[in-house]
Structure 1
């Protein structure tokens, strides 16, 4: 994996469960790590969902493999360029050289 192509910063987040003052479980996103990544847009498009038009952005990110990111899963998400992306697929590159994360973000910033 060439270091020169890893020119974008992404933050990987994982959902955590805490308790509120009434001891009820509360889910919140917490930063797992911030790493250098390469970014490649895959496609973008618009779909109609329940009468709402939403722009969708698919992207592929490649990051270096480390013990911190070894257990990244599709239940995690990432933040890039002030946009939140849902991770849809995680693939190992080579023999633990890196990870390829395929993700979907919404053009309107929600997720």
Structure 2
């Protein structure tokens, strides 16, 4: 599939957490929109690909491709993506090999994240 601006046909919202301390020394995460919604391409990772990577479990793994901008290059693994009402934690961010104009974000549903993760919503 050719990667161009026309293939970015989904809207995602990036989220960033602010932290506060509760009265018992624990951390409370509050998620807020980080920038405006942006266009992305979504591709679900296939079961065969997950099985060959020995990563079979009960979570949805998705790859989002977005334009590489100064804003998008500032994303962190501690940020989150909201797409169609589902929160995704960011597992990895990399440049798309054949075109430096895009970034690929590997994301997992929040149900698949570890306990005590900042992605609990």
1:63 is aligned to 2:66: yes
Matched, 1:104 2:98: no
Q: Of the candidates 89, 94, 97, which is equivalent to residue 91 of structure 1?
A: 94
Count of residues paired in the alignment: 100
Question: More strand by proportion, 1 or 2?
Answer: 1
Shift of 1:38: 0.2
Higher helix share: 2
Structure 2 matches for 1:10-25, cutoff 5 A? Answer: 10-17=12-19
Contact 1:65 1:98 (8 Å CA) reproduced:
yes
Q: When the two structures are superposed, what TM-score results if normalisation uses the length of structure 1? A: 0.73
Q: In the superposition, relative to structure 1, how do residues 56 and 92 fare at CA in structure 2: closer, same or farther (>3 Å)?
A: same
Runs of 4+ that moved beyond 6 A:
none
Structure 1 gaps, min length 5 = 48-54
- Using the TM superposition, name which of 78-87 and 90-99 deviates more: 90-99
Q: Are positions 1:73 and 2:108 aligned together?
A: no
Give the 3 Å change call, closer, same or farther, for CA 65–57 of structure 1 in structure 2.
Answer: same
Name the TM-score, length of structure 2 as normaliser: 0.68
